[in-house]
Chains A and B, each alone.
Chain A
């Protein structure tokens, strides 16, 4: 097992993280400008009738767009927006409202900055891993960095295929805060891991947990926006759309989380002599799993759809965050080797 640490590479990794935080912050500003001043088709609720004031302020064509389906109007690649703004958009809707020229480019710039930040984040993880010659998620610092990366990845992939760019400001903010927290409070010098973590299972179990967490963060952001957004007109998409985005992320994340828990049990069977022993980490991963299962069931039950389901989702998200970070800090257990300074 390699014990030598490439100090130069490790320092480079730390610098890349700082660059990542800056890029995410700039991206967040870009997304926020886009959300606040950009093309306003984004504000259309998916339930066509939901936005009466919008129909009043816009033209007849706009009202038809609202009824026709927000998906088509929103599903435009970032690069296309600049060109379309030179004339009337296909909806003919831009004529009625003043969009600052710079704001049209804000989204494009924000997405580009996000990808740059994403690349820096990936670089930071890779150089950290190379510096220590092992999988780069052996302690809380590396774990949180990887989760932020997963959340941004989930967002960037999703926004390339679905009209969810409105999430950008909030996901970037969450990622920047997460990374800042990791750098400020969790950072430990790059180094080797304890023997218990020296297993190929770290690549399977922890990676699955990271992927699922990234998607759960996306869903959590959409859930918070759902509660924050009233029923009235808003620059955010309608509640139904937010609900759909959260559901879509959880539908992908939940099986991955299930797999992560099972992989953890398999690893525990190898390392600790039992596959399930109600260690605090196991308890809380189980609680989070149950809570997300409850969300999926609630969404299919009369009387629990909508707001109640969203609240359950956020409770589940709270359990997940506590499991990922709180358990290592507040409760003692077998997972406490994950080196919190």
Chain B
């Protein structure tokens, strides 16, 4: 981004500078290309640990597991923010420095480009034959400076004319695109940041038949941005009517999921009429910019528990955690603190498609629900729910409980079956099976601007990498008698790598220029561009487009083709008409 000269300037820290001088030195160091390159590397390098260590923002459960497995290492990693890489201070430092460096480079260059856009192409150099592309031809008197310039203008060159010469330049969009790309990256960063501040996301688990209203308390996990108030949540609600999962039924890929579909009844705001919506994996529900996504699913068998006194102590669905993604063997916990005379606890293994295994146990062989059963392990005793310590609904601490029913080899309960508990402790009945879905609800006001910024970045990138900057000069010399003229054409590609394409274009330009007036002599056809003559190689001090604006700003510092051009005739372009 920054120019070559700048990087060279910052090689050595100047001695004996005042604070302003040091500040200027530091700023030039930061905005130099070399620093930008190093920051780019650091940025890439800083991202790597984020893909190696589990991240809190993505998989908090894995982070917890890490702490459990190796607490000492985890504590150290945590101190270095390695579980929160992308929100860590050192990561922020890297990208903030990079973007400051970028801004410090883009702004001056934008100003330079603005000046350049309003400036006219530099006048023709004295000797066009020294340019990388040169051709000349003899022609009639119709070939005036104006008519030749018109040819170039028709090819969308920006032209300026002087006495006997035309200067033309094209490809300003290259730098425009370059600046647009970098500015769009800055805009993207701001959009992402704003989205994080003003957006929120949350997760919720919903069982078939149940509803969800978008309030903070309804979430199982809620992660707001710093500037989000609980009242600002979009007040929609929906009910999960039905969930359908389809799987491959046979063959090598038996059990592979094919489609997930959740039938919702959605009310966009309180009191609004309900509308049906089919929620699918790639088809989120949108309500006024708030998106609801289908993330996962599982089984929630429904149970009815009678206690020792014959009272219904528990009745309803129990969402199970999926223990095995291939067979959807699921594990669930039922806690019945209201059971009398003793509290009851159950561990349940839910098998969606049950078959007896060879060793006498029971297993599931398919994720879909073809023959659902539940294996129940029952306990009685104090569940410890009154101690004040928070408990997970998915875990049952069986250490202090008395086992009532155990053993993997007892026949599991089918839907409708009841298992009487020994000792008159009551009974448990599998009354049915529902399914649950897990949802992510997200509001990110930055996503629209981020998309626009990204699109502009691609546009700018394409422009800056495909457009070539080039200059063409034409000089008309009268051959004495006034009727015949010699037209010299010189071309200078100002973008590296476009030489071949420019040679081709230059040939077409020369052909077009010869068409302005019929040649006076048949033998003076246009010279093939990129000519066969043994011309000396032109000085190519700076073909590098990146450095060009600076060269012009510091005219006379080095000799380049473009510089030479500017040092040419200093005639005022306006004087053309009078000169003729």
Contacts and interface: CB of A to CB of B under 8 A. Distances in A.
A1 B259 CA distance: 8
A280 interface: yes
B47 A286 contact: yes
Q: For this complex, into which size category does the number of interface residues on chain A fall?
A: 35 or more
Contacts, number: 145
B258 A3 contact: yes
Interface stretch (B277-285, B400-408, B411-419, B479-487): B277-285
Contacts of B447: 269, 275
A262 interface: yes
Contacts of A194: 256-258
B51 A331 contact: yes
Contacts of B36: 297
Nearest to B203: A273
B52 interface: yes
Given A262-B458, A269-B447, A287-B44, A191 B50 contact: no
B4 interface: yes
Interface-central residue, B55, B256, B291, by most chain A CB under 10 Å = B256
Contacts of B544: 300
A267 B142 CA distance: 60
Interface string B256-296: 11111000000000000000000011111000000101010
Interface stretch (A34-42, A94-102, A196-204, A215-223): A196-204
Interface string B523-549: 000000000000000000000101000
A283 B58 contact: no
B444 interface: yes
Contacts of A303: 7, 34
A133 B55 CA distance: 37
A10 B43 CA distance: 44
Given A3-B248, A290-B43, A303-B7, A272 B253 contact: no
Contact of B444 (A189, A272, A274, A298): A274
B293 A297 contact: no
B51 A280 contact: yes
Interface string A240-277: 00001001100110110011001001110111111111
Contacts of B260: 195
A279 interface: yes
Contacts of A333: 51
B93 interface: no
B386 interface: no
A54 interface: no
Given A287-B47, A294-B37, A271 B1 contact: no
Contacts of B454: 262, 265
A297 B36 CA distance: 9
A271 B497 contact: no
Contacts of A293: 40
Given A1-B259, A262-B454, A301 B34 contact: yes
Nearest to A294: B40
B67 interface: no
Could you tell me the dominant secondary structure of chain A's interface residues? Answer: helix
Contacts of A279: 58
Q: For this complex, into which size category does the number of interface residues on chain B fall?
A: 35 or more
A236 to B, nearest CB: 19
A244 B500 CA distance: 12
A178 B259 CA distance: 32
Interface string B437-452: 0001110100100110
Nearest to B283: A270
B248 A251 contact: no
A5 B457 CA distance: 41
Contact of B248 (A191, A272, A283, A319): A191
Contacts of B284: 270, 273
Contacts of A276: 192
B201 A196 contact: no
A216 to B, nearest CB: 15
Given A248-B497, A303-B7, A258 B34 contact: no
Given A195-B257, A297-B40, A303-B7, A255 B458 contact: yes
B465 interface: yes
A327 interface: yes
Contacts of B66: none
B498 to A, nearest CB: 10
A192 interface: yes
Interface string B446-485: 0100110011011001100110000000000000000000
Given A283-B47, A283-B50, A278 B258 contact: no
B48 A301 contact: no
Contacts of A266: 451
B248 A259 contact: no
A302 interface: yes
Contacts of B282: 195-196, 198-199, 201, 267, 270-271
B57 interface: yes
Nearest to A75: B500
A198 B259 CA distance: 9
A291 B454 CA distance: 18
Given A259-B458, A327-B51, A297 B497 contact: no
Contacts of B450: 275
B50 A278 contact: yes
Given A259-B458, A297-B40, 13 more contacts: A5-B251, A194-B258, A195-B258, A198-B258, A198-B281, A271-B281, A273-B441, A275-B447, A275-B451, A290-B41, A290-B43, A300-B33, A331-B52
8 contacts: A191-B252, A194-B256, A254-B461, A255-B465, A294-B44, A297-B33, A302-B4, A304-B37
